[in-house]
Copies of this chain bind each other. A is one copy, B any other.
Amino acid sequence: MNIIGFNKPYLTGKETTYITDAVNSGKISGDGIFTKKCHAYFEEKYGFKKCLLTTSCTDALEMAAILINIQPGDEVIMPSFTFVSTSNAFILRGATIVFADSNATHPGMDEDSIESLITPKTKAIVPVHYAGVSCNMDKIMAIAHKHNLYVIEDAAQAIDAYYTGIDGIKKPLGSIGHLSAFSFHETKNIMCGEGGMLVINDEQFIKRAEIIREKGTNRSSFFRGEVDKYGWVDIGSSFLPSDIIAAFLYAQLEHLEEIQQKRLTIWNTYYNLLSPLAQKGYIKLPLITTGATNNAHMFYIVCKNLEERTALITHLKEKNINAVFHYLSLHKSPFYEHKHDGRELPMTDFYSDALLRLPMYYELSLGDIVRISDTIKEYFNESINIK
């Protein structure tokens, strides 16, 4: 039986042609022709005010932390059930992280718990659109507005996902907060191995973002002829990816709709095949929250507890299927457990123990999905027989 990996990168066809084109253009450092094409694509398709490709989503979050001028002691509220970079990007600037719990029905952060975590030191809220499924952005933006906080959307998994709030307007995720960060890591719907993007919706940040991304220099202004020489004007880093990366990404972007269609089919097939198990109460299936669309980034199931998930992972592994657990609670990590304020975050711990991600990639075949679903069903049938 062939091995079904958890993820598999693939070529849409033009990646290496575009890389050659980039080299022939005479410039493959940052902000070459394909970087500009990617920026234009995202700005046009999603109405983002300003897009800046970065070498990773982590880097985009670090840019956001610099842009909102995080100082030592500033507090940032975010879910504990997220990737370490959501936190580390702010910790590198001296922030204290205040972790929120996940929802009972969904791994996204519990929006109703946010307000109680706000103190005079709070500077920002960082909602994470887990699995590309929107947080309740109406609630979050209202809290932020009331308390004068910045909202930075961690939209790492949320490309081509939307949210419709009480105003009835369907908005792309990443377009709602002051700043947003996307990932193009190889596990993402659209990818280039490692890569990311900062989206700026609040215009006040645009000029400084260009400077910070260009190692703290006003090089971008210089090339637009706004200043007659460029120099060191701010802190910053090299956040620009090689145009090779942008060329690869652009080839993927040209197939975005086809990719999304395919992933949605995979997702729906999983959902339909596994629904009987959910109906019997053995597992829970992903919830698409009110107002959210499904960008089919991830297919996960939620087991009853850690023991069951571990047994199921082992069962799948024996059948050559790689399913993986996801985040460990950040508030209980070796790095942060003594810095955390001690609150219990039971839902975070629950998803950390019980959530299982199934293989999900463009080239996953219908046969594979059936085999994976059957293997999961088989596990529960056997485990029931044993019990």
A175 at the interface (CB under 8 A from B): no
Residues of B contacting A29 in the complex (Cβ-Cβ under 8 angstroms): 185-187, 193-194
Residues of B within 8 A of A335 (CB): 216, 231-235
Cα A231 to Cα B216 with chains together (Å) = 32
Q: Which residue of B lies closest to A230 (CB)?
A: B328
Partner of A23, one of B10, B22, B57: B10
Give Cα A235 to B142, complex, Å. 32
Residues of chain B contacted by A32 (CB below 8 angstroms)? 193
Q: How many whole Å from A260's CB to the nearest CB in chain B?
A: 20
Task: Judge whether A198 is part of the interface by a CB distance below 8 angstroms.
Answer: no
A:2-58 near B, CB below 8 Å: 5, 8-11, 15-16, 19-20, 22-23, 26-30, 32, 55-58
CB pair A92–B215 under 8 Å, yes or no, is no
A2 nearest CB across to chain B (Å): 13
Selected contact of A16 from candidates B20, B89, B195, CB within 8 Å: B20
Q: Choose one: B187, B195, B243, B336; the contact of A193 (CB below 8 Å).
A: B243
Which residues on the B side are within 8 Å of A193 (C-beta)? 22, 28-30, 32, 242-245
Question: Within the complex, which residue of B9, B87, B216 is in contact with A28, where a contact is CB–CB below 8 Å?
Answer: B9
Per-residue B-contact encoding for A88-110, CB less than 8 Å = 1, 0 else: 11011000000000000000000
Residue of B nearest to A245 (CB): B242
List A residues at the B interface (Cβ < 8 Å). 5, 8-11, 15-16, 19-20, 22-23, 26-30, 32, 55-59, 62, 83-85, 87-89, 91-92, 185-187, 191-195, 215-217, 229, 231-238, 240-245, 248, 328, 330, 333-336
* Contacting pair A194 B234 (CB below 8 A): no
Contact of A55 among B55, B62, B217 (CB under 8 A): B55
CA of A29 to CA of B183, assembled, Å: 12
- B residues less than 8 Å from A26 (CB atoms): 5, 8-9
Task: List 18 extra interface pairs beyond A88-B215, A231-B335, CB under 8 A.
Answer: A9-B26, A28-B192, A32-B193, A55-B241, A62-B237, A87-B232, A88-B235, A88-B236, A92-B92, A92-B237, A194-B242, A229-B328, A231-B328, A231-B334, A233-B333, A233-B334, A235-B335, A244-B244
Contact B238 A194 (CB under 8 A): yes
Q: Determine if A56 and B185 form an interchain contact, defined as CB atoms under 8 angstroms apart.
A: no
Q: Which residues of B contact A194 (CB under 8 A)?
A: 29-30, 55, 238, 240-242
Q: How far, in angstroms, from A216 to B232 measured CA to CA in the complex?
A: 29
Number of chain copies forming the complex: 2
B19 lies within 8 A of A59 (CB): no
Pick 22 A–B contacts, CB within 8 A, sort by A: A15-B23, A16-B16, A16-B19, A16-B20, A55-B59, A55-B238, A59-B237, A85-B215, A88-B216, A88-B235, A92-B237, A193-B244, A193-B245, A229-B328, A231-B334, A231-B335, A232-B328, A232-B334, A232-B335, A233-B334, A234-B335, A235-B335
Residue of B nearest to A10 (CB): B23
Alpha-carbon gap, A217 to B335, bound state (A): 9
Rounded to whole angstroms, the CA-CA distance of A56 and B245 in the bound complex is 13
CB distance from A86 to the nearest CB of B (A): 10
Q: Which residues of chain B are near A8, meaning CB under 8 Å?
A: 26
A234 nearest CB neighbor, chain B only: B335
**Cβ A84 vs Cβ B217 within 8 A:** yes
Give the shortest distance, in Å, between A307 (CB) and chain B (any CB): 16
Given A9-B27, A215-B84, A334-B233, also A192-B58 (CB < 8 A): no
Interface contact B186-A238, CB-CB below 8 Å: no
B9 touches A15 (CB 8 A): no
Pairs A-B, 10 closest by C-beta atoms: A193-B242, A28-B193, A58-B238, A232-B333, A16-B16, A56-B238, A194-B242, A55-B55, A84-B232, A232-B335
